[in-house]
Amino acid sequence: MTTGLSDDAVGAGSKVKQAPTSALGPRGRAASFGLTFAITVYLVLVAVFACTALIAIFPSAVAVANGEAAPIPSHCVYGPFVLGGCTILTVHSPDQGLLLLALFAGVLGSFMHAAQSIGSYVGNRQLQSSRVLWYALRPMTGGILGLLFYFIIRAGLIPSSASTTTDAVSPYGVVAFGALAGWFSKRATDKLAEVFETLFRTAKDVEYKDKLSNLNKPRILDVVPKGISLASHNAGDVNITLTVDSVLPGVSATLDGRLMTTRIVDATHLSCVLPQSFALTAGKARLVVVNPPLPTAPQGAKGDASDPVELDIQ
């Protein structure tokens, strides 16, 4: 059975069957070496910039009247960010410094997510050119998430042990929260959605047309053969050809909930093998195609299944 790989399913030593380059589906062609190299260099440069800026502005305690170091943020000095002899960034207040720490930490966290993702896709030869925009925007979305999470925690919308005053906020905690928000963006956005739904709960949720999640849902257009005779099934394995509007690497097909061996033929066709060991009875059998979860789905998320199509068993 052909298997797929999601962004969060990155495991050392895991063996994943490679989908043919020609069978990457209608959503995009395989990314070229030049494109892969360019997006990798871009991500590395953004990560180096964010890491350098974070280290440069990270606060240091200054001495107070009694000669001891002051541990509270209002007595800390945030350094300037100097690059190539030019001052890129100057922090004017402790509040502004904490905001910048959350922003740059979110960018670094998003780099970890993007690096794991592109490494796994390239390693399994499944990187599509259509994903370039996702990687290009990933550091920015991570930085914004880190910033938004800092605002929400300071506002007290998410319960935490931190106070809403600057003196009680640890710069280390801000960096930790920002990095985690950027790294685990799906969980962070789910938490933001939970906060929003709590504050602005309505009597009825509005369902919009053309939801993004529906783009991953396959639709069975044709089945060959239309039916299976018990005699032919008892004689050996039966091959079934499916025409599907959306085929992704890792797609699978089931008959009455039992998994069949599935192979991608091209962008819209699947070849399935119904083994002789499957027990069939005369009547109707439900055929379902399942696409793997989208790359942005959390680890453990289920794939999107098509509407069932009935197959005659005679």
Closest CA to 50 of 187, 170, 175, 152: 175
Q: Is residue 10 part of a domain?
A: no
Strands 227-228 and 309-313: parallel
Strands 238-244 and 269-274: antiparallel
What is the pLDDT tens value at each position of the chain, 314 positions in all? 444 444 444 443 444 444 444 344 444 578 888 888 999 999 999 999 999 988 888 887 554 445 555 445 555 677 788 777 788 778 778 788 888 889 999 999 999 999 888 888 888 888 888 888 889 999 998 889 888 888 888 877 655 554 455 556 778 888 888 888 888 887 777 777 777 777 776 655 444 444 445 567 888 898 988 888 888 888 888 899 999 987 888 888 998 888 888 888 888 899 999 888 888 888 888 899 988 887 766 666 778 888 898 888 88
Beta-carbon contacts of residue 5 (< 8 Å; ≥ 6 apart): 16, 120, 121, 124, 126, 249, 250, 292
Please say whether the beta carbons of 291 and 218 come within 8 A: yes
Q: Is residue 118 part of a domain?
A: yes
Return the DSSP state at 243. Answer: E
Q: Is residue 206 part of a domain?
A: no
Sign of the alpha-carbon torsion through 151, 116, 122, 19: negative
Q: Is residue 117 part of a domain?
A: yes
Residue 86 is encoded by which pair of tokens?
A: 């030019």
Lookup result for tokens 């068993």: 313
Same domain, residue pair 28 and 113: yes
- Mark which of 145, 171, 199 sits at the end of a domain: 199
Residue 10 confidence (pLDDT): 43
Same domain, residue pair 153 and 274: no
pTM of the model: 0.50
| CA–CA gap between residue 168 and residue 200 (Å, rounded) | 29
Question: Environment class of residue 32 by beta-carbon count within 10 Å: exposed (0-12), middle (13-18) or buried (19+)?
Answer: exposed
Same domain, residue pair 101 and 134: yes
Beta bridge partners of 77: 60
CATH number of the domain where residue 255 is located: 2.60.40.10
Same domain, residue pair 249 and 187: no
Same domain, residue pair 219 and 256: yes
Same domain, residue pair 304 and 243: yes
Beta-carbon contacts of residue 140 (< 8 Å; ≥ 6 apart): 107
Q: In which domain, by residue range, is 66 found?
A: 23-199
Closest CA to 281 of 313, 247, 310: 313
- Mark which of 164, 199, 234 sits at the end of a domain: 199
Number of domains observed in the structure of the chain:
2
Residue 91 confidence (pLDDT): 79
**Could you tell me if residue 151 is left (phi over 0), alpha (psi between -120 and 50 degrees) or otherwise beta?**
alpha
272 phi, psi to nearest 5 deg? -115, 150
